[in-house]
Amino acid sequence: MPQAASYEQIYQVVALIPPGQVATYGQVADLAGLPRRARLVGTALRHCPAERQLPWHRVVRASGQLAFSPGSAQAIEQRTRLQQEGVIFSHWRVALSRYQWQPSLAEMLHALTH
DNA sequence: ACTATGACTGGGT
DNA sequence: GACCCAGCCATAG
């Protein structure tokens, strides 16, 4: 189990992303206290245990596109899940200006105590 | 101890 | 917007 500590930080942040909103890989890394580790977020999500029920589909690239190639089974699943939460896609991309999660300091502090 | 490989990014064209 | 590309850094071999 490589870098379990970092993975745990990442999972906890991902778990906080509200339905109908998205966060970028880099954003999750920053919030997890792991700056410049966007790729690690991808690696962690790739190994994410199903039993954790993580909202992994709410993590997208900084461009608003999905990390999977358009049309792939994984991309379709991610897009479907987001669409079910009300997120609108145009050409396999979401508008970050509209859907990007912007956690408040209070929100983060509250999470820290739980 | 390398080398290769990404669910990545930001800057340049 | 698009496409490329160098930089990135933990993991896997």
pLDDT in tens, A69-102: 988 999 999 999 999 999 999 989 999 999 999 9
Higher pLDDT among residues A107 and A82, named by residue:
A82
Alpha helices in chain A (DSSP H): 4-14, 25-31, 38-46, 73-84, 96-99, 105-112
In the numeric block, the tokens 């200006």 are attached to: A97
Residue range A33-59: mean pLDDT, rounded: 94
- Categorize the per-residue pLDDT at A1 as very low, low, confident or very high, splitting at 50, 70 and 90: low
* A33/A35 Cα distance (integer angstroms): 6
Mean of pLDDT over chain A: 92
Which pair of tokens denotes residue A60? 């997208």
Say what the pLDDT of residue A114 is: 74
Rounded to whole angstroms, the Cα distance separating A21 from A6 reads 23
**What does pTM read for this prediction?**
0.94
Question: How confident is the model at residue A3, as a pLDDT?
Answer: 65
Strand C surroundings (CB within 7 A): A 2-3, 6-7, 36-37, 39-40, 43, 47, 63, 91
